[in-house]
Structure 1
Amino acid sequence: MYTDEDPQWIRFFTQQIQPFWRDHVEVHHLTRPDGVVLHWFLHRPVHPQGLIIICPGRIEAALKYQELVWQLAQSNYAVAVVDHRGQGFSDRLSNNPHHGHIDQFQDFVDDLDAVVQEASRYFPRVPHYLLGHSMGGAISALYLAQHKHSIRKAVFSSPMLGILTGDTPQWLAKSIAVGGALLNRWISPRKPWYFIGMTDYVHVPFDENELTHSEARYQMFRDAYEENPEVKLGGPTFNWLAQAFGAIRAAHQQADRIEVPILMLQSGADTVVDNRKQTEFFRKLGNDQSQIQCIEGAKHELFMESDRFRQPALDAVLNWFQADK
């Protein structure tokens, strides 16, 4: 196994991981009550030790998780990954396919419930686990708090339980998002507007990215999106951001309803989500088996990070689920 800093790593990715995804990961479709068609992906080993459902973040397609799925498969896990409505290969929700848009954040939560139920039918007799990253962490928190489920344990990776708003005070960012969303619905209800300063998909050079220290993994992520341009996504709309703020508030309010143990992985150098709010959420959880671990120096994308950050995160995930045996 090569490290991401080894020139051979990209060859390993293209010759081992990508063929595995192509040959051993199935594409499934699920039509929701409102007609939106979700794409979700499933790796099915013959005798898995468990099923891990991955709930990705904003802008992410399941394609971004090829390496993680491959590694979980090496430990004999079945793995399911959902493309959320409005992103990945799933149906878009706007006149502009680059809009990062949602009508109601609750739709993400209910979609996850439907995918978990579908994936679980393939593996009714093995333990079921959940791994939510970034926005997927907020979705997963609300899902575990609201729905009856078969999940035994969960991991929240850099969860969106607070958003960093830079130089703009958070109260002002919220007010602008909510006000803009209301104005958008009034003036142009069928055509969402980008939040201020947001645009269609832009290729961000590695040196300017806030997601990872790993140039090799960053390049593979961007290459996958260039090869599959239909998964490209731009910035969030006013309504997405307004809904996200509301979902974060709801997740904090409902944290004590979560009964299963949570491993919360924080990225120490995160500039996207708020680690202090993650810690506040952790203290509200309704069980005493949960744990929190900070990967010092890591940027937001723990599973796309350099090995010195990514490997401790991956080890923590595998140990967390393995300890359930």
Structure 2
Amino acid sequence: MAAAAPLYTDVAEGPEGGAAYWLTTMDGVRVRAGIWPAAGTAKGTILLFPGRTEYIEKYGRTACDLTAAGYTVLVMDWRGQGLADRMHPDEKAGHVEKFRDYQHDVAAMMDLARELELPEPFHLIAHSMGGCIGLRALYEGLPVSSVAFSGPMWGISISAPVRPAAWVLGWGSGKLGLGGTYAPGTKPQAYVIAEPFENNQLTTSPEMFHHLQRQIGRYPELGIGGPSLTWLHEALLECRGLARMPSPDLPCRTFVGACERIVDIGRIRERMDKWPGGKLDVIEGAEHEVLMEIKSVRDWVTSEIIAHFDAHGRASGTAVPGGAIAQRA
């Protein structure tokens, strides 16, 4: 049985009955998973893949909407962030040795879902870096009935003149033993602490930005800073590899802010143009984190995702009482 882990409910502002667990991956890394059970009878389970720097508690408010709609929510702290094991002596650096290592975390997440007999069918919400991890997981057989992506990292927003230098710098740093060095222009501090709200790249909502500041301010151990040069190189390699693969034949909705400055919106358009039956929504005025945007945007995106999952759930008979999970926990 997975061991109990901390869940900072005071800053998560998530639904009642949440729980967190320590998981050990097949390569010996300790990661953390959080579960919020569905209200009433569960329609299924949403696997929520966060982005780089993120942590379980960040999605507490989103989980309130999803559980109220009848879905259990299972969310991860990926290796190197949140309360999971850090992968470099500098614990504030966002670091991973190989991007495919995140698939070990996905496997541990699915083992927990089966151990706790979470209700099926499974659906996927994947944000930013989680969108890159999630797309790879789909190719490797992640058992979901439908998917929704938010600002997926299928390419990184780097200007054309700088892109060759990013490749060379990432590759060369590993050869020189400098792979843990921060990528140029990034800092050890968490973004929401190091940068002001004005002109931030995450959200146009002052309330949500300050909510994220409160979370990291209260529990600084949740935060990390910029990516390492090794992470950057590995991410570029993974994005390039995935771009060569066809889109999976799964019902898909993708949402991206029209003001996106973190991931490559051109790559998102290319992918969704070739996704069988997929639909892309570009949200005017929104930044990178559409699930952390102003309330009208958050509410619309969440309602669209819920409707998408409702339309692609399997026949009745798979639902179980949502309280069963809390009782097992």
**What TM-score does the superposition give when structure 1 sets the normalisation length?**
0.87
Shift of 1:251: 1.5
Superposed, 1:166-185 pairs within 5 Å as: 166=159, 168-184=161-177
Within 2, Cα distance between the matches of 1:163 and 1:39? 26
Identify the residue that residue 281 of structure 1 maps to in structure 2.
Answer: 271
Q: State the SS of the aligned residue for 1:24.
A: coil
2:158 is aligned with what amino acid?
A: T
Distance (whole Å) between structure 2 residues aligned to residue 99 and residue 20 of structure 1: 28
Match of 1:11 in 2: none
CA–CA distance in structure 2, aligned partners of residues 174 and 247 of structure 1: 12
Judge conservation of contact 1:132–1:140 (CA < 8 Å) in 2.
yes
| Percentage of matched positions with identical amino acids | 27
Gaps of 5+ in 2: 1-8, 314-329
User: Which residue of 9, 17, 20 corresponds with 1:27?
Assistant: 20
Q: Which structure's relative contact order is higher, taking Cα pairs within 8 Å and 6+ residues apart?
A: 2
8 Å CA contact retained: 1:56, 1:134: yes
Paired residue secondary structure (2:156)? coil
Number of equivalenced pairs: 301
1:144 aligns with 2:144: no
Structure 2 counterpart of 1:142, one-letter code: R
Preserved contact between residue 55 and residue 133 of structure 1 (Cα < 8 Å)? yes
1:39-71 deviation line (CA, Å, top 9, x unaligned)? 010112363111001000001111111100111
* Partner deviation per Cα, 1:22-42 (whole Å, 9 max, x = no partner): x42111111112221010101
- 2 CA distance for matches of 1:269 and 1:19? 28
Displacement of 1:124: 5.6
Q: Residue 132 of structure 1: SS of its match in structure 2?
A: strand
- TM-score of the pair, normalised by structure 2: 0.86
What residue is the counterpart of 1:155 in the other structure? 148
What secondary structure does 2:236 align onto?
helix
**C-alpha distance in structure 2 between counterparts of 1:218 and 1:149, whole Å:** 32
1:261 matched to 2:251: yes
Structure 1 CA distance, aligned partners of 2:294 and 2:259? Answer: 13
Whole-Å Cα distance in 2 between the matches of residues 76 and 290 of structure 1? 24
The 1:321–1:93 alpha-carbon spacing in structure 2 relative to 1, beyond 3 Å, is same
Residue in structure 1 matched with residue 33 of structure 2 by the alignment: 40
Say if 2:315 is the partner of 1:324: no
1:98 correspondence with 2:92: yes
Q: Deviations over 1:213-264 (max 9, x none)?
A: 10111111111011111111011111000000011012212234x2322211
RMSD, aligned CA: 2.1
- Cα distance in 2 for partners of 1:216, 1:300 equals 16
Q: SS state of the match for residue 244, structure 2?
A: helix
2:153 aligned counterpart, secondary structure: coil
Matched residue, 1:303: 291
Other structure's SS at 1:312 match: helix
| 2:31 aligned counterpart, secondary structure | strand
Could you say which structure has the higher helix fraction? 1
Relative to structure 1, is the Cα distance of residues 194 and 16 closer, same or farther in structure 2, using a 3 angstrom cutoff? closer
Instruction: Mark the runs of 5 or more structure 1 residues left unpaired by the alignment.
Output: 1-14
Using the TM superposition, give the Cα deviation of residue 121 of structure 1 relative to its aligned residue in structure 2, in angstroms. Answer: 4.2
- Find the aligned partners of 2:231 and 2:10 in 1 and give their Cα distance: 37
**Partner Cα separation in structure 1 for residue 32 and residue 12 of structure 2:** 19
How far apart, in 1, do the equivalents of 2:156 and 2:31 lie? 26
Distance 2:217 2:55 in 1: 12
Instruction: Give the superposition deviation at 1:17.
Output: 8.3
Shift of 1:149: 3.0
Task: Classify 1:19/1:198 alpha carbon distance in 2 versus 1 (closer, same or farther; 3 Å).
Answer: closer
Task: Establish whether residue 252 from structure 1 lines up as the match of residue 243 from structure 2.
Answer: yes
Where 1:254 maps in the other structure, the secondary structure is coil
Q: Which amino acid aligns with 1:224?
A: Q
Check 1:211–1:241 CA distance in 2 against 1; reply closer, same or farther (3 A cut): same
